Structure 1
Amino acid sequence: MPVTPEHRYDQLRLRQWLDGRARADGVARRDLFRLLGASAALSALPTALQSALPGAAAPAHAAAGIRKPLPPEWFTVRGTNAETKFDALAGTGYHTPNERFFVRNHTSTPALDPADWTLTVWGSGLRGDPAVFGLDDLRALPTVTRSAVVECAGNGRSLFASQQGQSVSGTAWTLGAIGAARWRGVRLADVLRRAGIRRDAVDVMPRGLDAEYVTPDGASLGRVRRPLPVAKALDDVVLAYEMNGEALPPDHGSPVRVVVPSWVGIASVKWVGDVEVSAEPLYSPWNTAFYRLWGPTHPAEGSPPLTRQTLKTAIELPWNASLPAGERHRVTGRSWSGAGGVVRVETSVDGGHHWRSARLLDPPRRAGWVRWHADWRPAVPGPAVLLARATDTTGRTQPLSTAHNTQGYLFDAVVRHPVTVT
């Protein structure tokens, strides 16, 4: 993948933080170093212990802190999270219906009254005092509508174990921790300029209004927050108050959330309540201890914090679906990339020896996905494996394996999707 301005920014911030020149808001440096050590050590934990860590799969009936219905034909509940079953997206159109959109919560969905909600923009990167905006104030600004996917950085995490035999920690997502929506709101850039952002501002950090996140050993890391470089904040970031033509639902960030196109989902902070604008570098636990790559192929201090999402493809069939032999089947799926639009999708039914081009149903879209289909007529009953791989506008094609990292982020290998021909 080519080096992006975001990657250079993150390399700089990593060096500054390790040298003590970046401020980690609200968390003692010693606590962050302790978390760093814990993150780096996760790969050494027994598998049974890893399954008991926060974010591990919970019984299907446990939907802690999620307010919307989670019918089992659409969702797999994983602790405080709900993963969309990818086959439930078949036939739903380009945008994921709100009721089928996955839920990623660090704690619980808060009950917030839009009439009482305010957004405070503050910090050393402003020319004057903090600026406060209500929902009506945002609605009075020029509106923008952006179609973009939001995807958890750990989407596909379980495939490190099932395909590559590697232990990882965290929520055992398959491929359904993603959804595409039409987001309507205001540009974060317009709000920052109204608030008086200074030329020497370097970082912008949105913070959510959900409860403080507490680690298993009882340390509070505060509310979810993660800095953005000013260049990204002034580019395409949206403060969204509508989702697919409806008021933003509670589980998806009501009254207002941040949407950061192409970036890992943690950057798109839900239930945003304040935005710090800083003239000095910022860090938080969500780009120091979490959302970095650890493991034998990565630096001892971890990779730079994750920014752009990677390249993926998913097939809209249940795992181990039964397909009658001798009949033509239309296999459908979706492919996406954080680096650019998808321009080609290929499928294989013989273990990758031969590939055939699928038909794309959408043009390549920055920050979006493409739907596709391919026909297959299996001749012989028995087990079979479907493969699908995408190529994006940078020329990158999905690899056959993903380099291991202990927290299971950014799985982008070709997925071996099992079916049974009957």
Structure 2
Amino acid sequence: MERNQNGSMYLKTLGLDPENQEAPIAFVESEKRMDGLFYRRNHFPYPEVDSDLLDIGGLTERNLRLTVAELKELPARTVTVVLKCAGNKRSLFSKKTFGEQWGKGALSLGTWTGVPLRSLLEKAGLKDGVQEIVFNGHDEGMQPGFDKTECYGRSLPLEKAIHPDTIVAYAYNGERIPECHGAPLRLIVPGWYAMASVKWLRTIQASADHFEGPFQTDDYVYYPHEDSDEDAEPVRQLRVNSTIQQPLDMAKAEKGEQIVKGIAWTGIGHIEKVEVSVDSGCTWEAAELEDGETEGVDYGWVPWSFKWHAEKAGIYKIFSRAKDSEGRVQPGEACWNRKGYGYNAIDRVKLKVLK
């Protein structure tokens, strides 16, 4: 449980050095504010950031050095986004993988405000031949397998970098970004797993080459084979997914009306349908989407609910599956990969209805 004795919600700690904590997703309501309950994913200890400068350069007509105050003077864009660790639900793979054993709470929802990255790149002036935009954060350190200290770095293909909703954010839910979530500046890449949304952003570099940093070419790659790198693919867009928030797994209830509720999200398009089964997937019925038509939701999650009547005592296996506007549906089994990324199998809980 993610509630203390006073009934207050708290983060579930998976690691302290560096700090990695899950959100109490079963108890989070559908509102966009998750202040204090936003999950935490770190590769290194928190950096001590003593500068609010952002350097932009590389294959550009001019180098830029901008302060947060200067960024705030530029036209802003606000996006509401699900940020989700690529390892969310890793612990649910039947064949276990190494890494933080995240449950269902390595995701959160928030509203971010900042400057479209496209505007900054136009201001710098991209030269011919730019293929990727590289981002580096202030956080750095050593990890197993590293032969030197590395800062956290990622790149985006130019097409994604210049998307109007890819922003350099300076505010979260209308206030300064908390230090633990990337202040003073954080890249926000809607629709992609959150490893792309580089925290404590310090440099942006235009490049004609493919970025080869360890968090790009080793981590955050789908390796479908245990002993081979064959068929490897980069982790990018969020897979369509849903989570049952209530009832809790292994909960008990009296006979009568039951309410199943949860959230669903996707990386492209929008959530079109959520279905629920209370008989181990033999039959399915449509859940009610809280926001009705979801076409305007874009990068947020969609709350859903389903009412049913439990006439008999027994153990019920309750499933949920989401479908998005691109025709993607949650599969019965997740695609195993040796780093445990992208789990999106049909969600499952058990409910015991008493006599």
SS in 2 for 1:147: strand
Q: Is 1:252 aligned to 2:181, yes or no?
A: yes
Supply the distance in 1 between the matched residues of 2:83 and 2:352 (Cα, whole angstroms).
Answer: 32
Structure 1 Cα separation of the partners of residues 127 and 215 of structure 2? 25
State the match for 1:75 in structure 2: 11
CA displacement, residues 112-162 of structure 1 (integer Å, 9 cap, x when unaligned): 35xx31001121x1113x2101001100110111111111111111110xx
Tell me what 2:131 maps to: 202
1:158 is the counterpart of 2:91: yes
Letter in 1 for 2:318: L
Q: Flag the structure with higher helix content.
A: 1
**SS at the partner of 1:417?**
strand
Work out which of the residue numbers 100, 103, 107 in structure 2 matches 1:178: 107
What letter corresponds to residue 182 of structure 2 in structure 1? G
Q: Partners in 2 of 1:341 and 1:297 — Cα distance?
A: 33
Per the TM alignment, residue 376 of structure 1 is displaced from its structure 2 partner at its CA by: 2.5
User: Which residue type is aligned with residue 237 of structure 1?
Assistant: T
Q: Is the 8 A contact 1:348 1:386 kept in 2?
A: yes
Q: Which runs of 5+ in 1 are unaligned?
A: 1-59, 61-70
Counterpart for residue 154 of structure 2: 226
CA-to-aligned-CA distance 1:353-384 (integer Å, 9 cap, x gap): 11111000121432222110111332333432
- In structure 2, runs of 5+ residues without a counterpart are none
CA distance in 1, matches of 2:100, 2:33: 22
Give the TM-score taking structure 1 as reference length.
Answer: 0.77
Q: Distance in 2 between matches of 1:318 and 1:218?
A: 43
Give the match's secondary structure for 1:375.
strand
Whole-angstrom distance in 1 between the partners of 2:203 and 2:306: 46
- In structure 2, the residue corresponding to 1:282 is in which secondary structure? coil
Preserved CA contact (<8 Å) 2:225 2:338? no
Kept after mapping to 2: 8 A contact 1:401/1:413: yes
Pick aligned residue for 1:122 from 50, 57, 61: 57
Which residue number corresponds to residue 40 of structure 2? 103
The equivalent residue for 1:13 is none
Query: In 2, are the aligned partners of 1:386 and 1:419 still within 8 Å (CA)?
Result: yes
Match of 2:24 in 1: 85
State the SS of the aligned residue for 1:225: strand
Listed one character per residue, the Cα deviations across residues 322-356 of structure 1 (whole Å, up to 9, x for unaligned) are: 34222322221000111221110000110111111
The yes-or-no answer on 1:187 pairing with 2:126 is: no
Matched, 1:394 2:326: yes
Letter in 1 for 2:56: V
Query: How far has the Cα of 1:85 moved from its partner?
Result: 2.0
- Which residue among 304, 309, 322 is the counterpart of 1:377? 309
Deviates further, 130-139 or 296-305: 296-305
Partner AA of 2:82 in structure 1: V
State whether structure 2 residue 338 is matched by structure 1 residue 415.
no
Q: Which residue of 1 aligns with 2:69?
A: 136
Give the aligned residue type for 2:45: S
Please tell me whether residue 361 in structure 1 is matched to residue 290 in structure 2. yes
Letter in 2 for 1:119: L
Distance 1:196 1:334, change over 3 A: same
Instruction: Give, in angstroms, the shift of residue 73 of structure 1.
Output: 3.6
Q: 2: distance between equivalents of 1:253 and 1:419?
A: 39
1:298–1:314: structure 2 CA closer, same or farther, 3 Å change rule?
A: farther
- One-letter code aligned to 2:74: L
CA RMSD in angstroms, aligned pairs only: 2.0
- Partners of 1:298 and 1:388 lie apart in 2 by 33
Offset from partner CA, 1:168-215 (integer Å, 9 cap, x none) = 1111111211111111111011111112222321111111112x2312
CA distance in 2 between partners of 1:96 and 1:389 (Å)? 25
Q: Structure 1 or 2: larger strand share?
A: 2
Deviation of 1:299 after TM superposition, in Å, equals 6.6
Change in Cα spacing, 1:96 to 1:401, as seen in structure 2 (3 Å) is: farther
Equivalent residues of 1:205, 1:227 under 8 A apart? yes
Partner of 1:215: 143
Asked if the contact 2:247/2:261 (under 8 Å) is kept, the reply is: no
Q: Does structure 1 retain, via aligned residues, the 8 Å contact 2:112–2:169?
A: yes
1:329 maps onto 2:265 in alignment: no
Match of 1:148 in 2: 81
Tell me the equivalent position of 1:300: 229
- The alignment partner of 1:223 has SS state of strand
TM-superposition CA deviations, 1:63-96 (whole Å, max 9, x none): xxxxxxxx9843211112111122121xx33314
Among all aligned residue pairs of Structure 1 and Structure 2, give the percentage whose two residues are the same amino acid. Answer: 31
